[in-house]
Amino acid sequence: MRSRLASLPILALALLAVLLAGCGSSASQGNGVASKTPVQILAAARSAAVGAASVHVAGSIVSEGKPISLDMELVGSSGGKGRLTLGGLGIELIDVDRSVYVKGSPSFYTRFAGPAAARLLRGKWLKGSAKQGPLAPFAQLADLGNLIDITLDDHGTLSRGPATTIDGQKAIGVSDAAHDGTLYASTVGAPYPLEIAKPGAGRIVFDRWNKPVTLAVPTNAINIKQLHSVG
């Protein structure tokens, strides 16, 4: 099983790359950033987002013909929790207390651990280090600071779009010509990101900024270090 589980980071990193392929920034008519350059708006967006206590991130996008979706609650630098789906493979994820916990669907465990191991792991959580090892890349998806930093750093030439409304909130968009993605940010209050959209490919929504989120360690999780050559 160890060799198969070594493929787990590929899934996490593929998902991370797709989510971060569109770059943008935030702006606010109320706080003056709407009149700034796209690069200055970018800095304001980073500051607001990284300084937030928590955020809910959800949506779906298509990459290379494969649907990807996520529904995550991220808690500053403390971790996060939620559900991910990549190409029909479902995953539950919790990152807390410097450990990452993953519970895959039967098809996920079959793909990455083999049929025999999948039967043993069905309905069970795997535990690994959030810093190193085969499950560590999943922790990147639950780290608000990391997600925001990479999103706002990896971009090409930026351009500012017109004022608009996203889910009832006033916003302005900043588009990244290199990745054909646009990030829309609130123009009322703090310039939090509201949405990342890629034409024809889907969107990722950011909402519930600074709402309380509770992270709990799953019971009876199997430490991935205990798995050797099953399957």
How large is the average pLDDT for residues 188-215? Answer: 89
pTM of the model: 0.81
In the chain, what is the straight-line distance between the N-terminal and C-terminal CA atoms, in Å?
Answer: 6
- Distance from C-alpha of 163 to C-alpha of 195, rounded to nearest angstrom: 14
Using one digit for the tens of pLDDT, what is the confidence trace for 65-85?
778 888 999 998 789 999 999
Residue 43 CA: distances (Å) to CA of 46, 49, 146, 162: 5, 10, 15, 19
pLDDT reported for residue 71: 95
pLDDT at 152: 59
Residue 182 has a pLDDT of 83
Domains of the chain listed by start with CATH number: 2-213 (2.50.20.20)
Q: What is the mean pLDDT of the chain?
A: 81
Query: Which residues is 202 bridged to in the sheet?
Result: 61, 198
pLDDT digits (tens, 9 = 90+) for 2-52: 545 555 555 555 555 555 444 444 333 477 778 878 878 777 878 888 889
Looking at residue 129, its pLDDT comes to: 94
The string of pLDDT tens digits covering residues 170-181 is: 888 888 877 777
Helix count (H) and strand count (E) of the chain?
7, 12
Amino acid identity of residue 82, one-letter, is G
Residue 200 predicted with pLDDT over 50: yes
Of the candidates 176, 175, 210, the residue with the CA atom closest to the CA atom of residue 192: 210
Residue 152 phi/psi, 5-degree rounding, is: -85, -10
- How do 126-129 and 193-198 pair as beta strands? unpaired
Predicted local confidence at residue 199, as pLDDT: 80
Q: What is the DSSP letter of 184?
A: E
d(CA 215, CA 218): 9
